[in-house]
Amino acid sequence: MSKWETYKDNFDHAQVGEYEVIDLLAVAGAREVRDGETVFAGTGLPMLSVTLAQRTGAGHASIIYEAGSIDGRPESLPSSVGDARCEQQASVVSGLADVFGQLERGRIDLAFLGGAEIDRYGNVNTTVAGDYLNPDRRLAGSGGNPDINAFAGRTIFTMVQEKRRFKEKVDYITSPGWRLPDWQDGGRVKSRQEIFGDAFRGGPQVVITNMAVFRFDDQSGEMYLDTVHPGYTVEDIQQLVGWDLDVSRVAGETEPPSYHELYLLYEEIDPEGLFL
Pairing of strands 223-228, 110-114: unpaired
Ramachandran region of residue 221, left (φ > 0), alpha (ψ -120 to 50) or beta?
left
66 given a catalytic annotation: yes
Burial class (CB in 10 A: 0-12, 13-18, 19+), 15: exposed
Contact 149, 124 (CB under 8 A): yes
Contact 166, 236 (CB under 8 A): no
Return the SS3 of 134.
coil
Cα gap 173→126, rounded to integer Å = 8
Out of 32, 66, 117, 261, pick the active-site residue: 66
Active site residues: 66
